[in-house]
A and B are shown apart, each in its own frame.
Chain A
Amino acid sequence: QKEVEQNSGPLSVPEGAIASLNCTYSDRGSQSFFWYRQYSGKSPELIMFIYSNGDKEDGRFTAQLNKASQYVSLLIRDSQPSDSATYLCAVKVGGGADGLTFGKGTHLIIQP
């Protein structure tokens, strides 16, 4: 049974601070890891993906992967009120476009 766990929150962070979102997964065969952002009433949109251990940076976002510990995290620097959303962690076992297993998401609130 593939499981992806996230703290549901809400996680409240002051504007301009760093928001840290964490995710753990149960399947050691997981190879691809994704972070999606979902605004209320909208569809999930891809923020970042990471395949290798270590950090991957894209603008204000940094994804971190530690396969030995089976966790992946997302850091958002200089948090903005527009970053307030639910962040979904997703993992995929194997290559190719197979189905993603999603966590239930962390609700992030950026306080102005």
Chain B
Amino acid sequence: DARVTQTPRHKVTEMGQEVTMRCQPILGHNTVFWYRQTMMQGLELLAYFRNRAPLDDSGMPKDRFSAEMPDATLATLKIQPSEPRDSAVYFCASGSLRDSPLHFGNGTRLTVT
């Protein structure tokens, strides 16, 4: 059963530290999305890639967040420096042109103290 894999599942860090979250999309999916979920805002799209090229990162705070896709099997989301307001669950999802629905990973629950 193909699935999106995210690591780590949980991360607790202190304000000012760098945080890196990783995602392995479903094999064959050419589009990767990063979402952030909080109680107040719900699911927000941060950035997405197609064929490893960044297409839209307008939802992402540019000064501290960065997203990359060094190869087809790995996407990363970095926060530097992290702040308490970044505490949320970060989901990675992948999709393909043929299979329109998105498939979500299990998420990384980030707590910044």
Interface residues of A (CB under 8 A from B): 32, 34, 42-46, 49, 88, 92, 95-105
Q: Give Cα A30–Cα B50 distance, bound, in whole angstroms.
A: 20
Shortest beta-carbon distance from B102 to chain A in Å:
6
Beyond the given pairs A97-B29, A99-B56, 10 more chain A to chain B contacts, judged by CB atoms under 8 angstroms and listed by A's residue number, are A43-B91, A43-B106, A44-B43, A44-B104, A49-B100, A92-B100, A97-B96, A97-B99, A98-B55, A104-B41
CB atoms of B101 and A45 under 8 A apart: no
CB atoms of A100 and B45 under 8 A apart: yes
Q: Give Cα A88–Cα B107 distance, bound, in whole angstroms.
A: 16
Chain B, residue nearest A49 (CB): B101
Binary interface encoding of chain B residues 23-60 relative to chain A, with 1 for a CB under 8 A from any of its CBs, else 0:
00000011101010000011101001010000110000
**With contact pairs A88-B43, A103-B42 given, residues A97 and B56 touching in the complex (Cβ less than 8 Å):** no
Q: Give Cα A102–Cα B95 distance, bound, in whole angstroms.
A: 16
Interface residues of B (CB under 8 A from A): 29-31, 33, 35, 41-43, 45, 48, 50, 55-56, 91, 95-97, 99-107
CB-defined contacts of A104 to chain B, threshold 8 Å: 41-42
Q: Give Cα A99–Cα B67 distance, bound, in whole angstroms.
A: 15
CB-defined contacts of A42 to chain B, threshold 8 Å: 106
Q: Give Cα A96–Cα B56 distance, bound, in whole angstroms.
A: 14
CB-defined contacts of A45 to chain B, threshold 8 Å: 104
Shortest beta-carbon distance from B87 to chain A in Å:
15
Chain B, residue nearest A51 (CB): B100
CB-defined contacts of B35 to chain A, threshold 8 Å: 102
**With contact pairs A43-B106, A46-B103, A49-B101 given, residues A102 and B31 touching in the complex (Cβ less than 8 Å):** no
Chain A, residue nearest B97 (CB): A96
CB-defined contacts of B102 to chain A, threshold 8 Å: 34, 46, 97, 100
Name the contact of A46 in the complex, choosing from B29, B101, B105 (C-beta under 8 A). Answer: B101
CB-defined contacts of A46 to chain B, threshold 8 Å: 101-103
Q: Give Cα A35–Cα B106 distance, bound, in whole angstroms.
A: 18
Chain B, residue nearest A102 (CB): B43
CB atoms of A34 and B101 under 8 A apart: yes
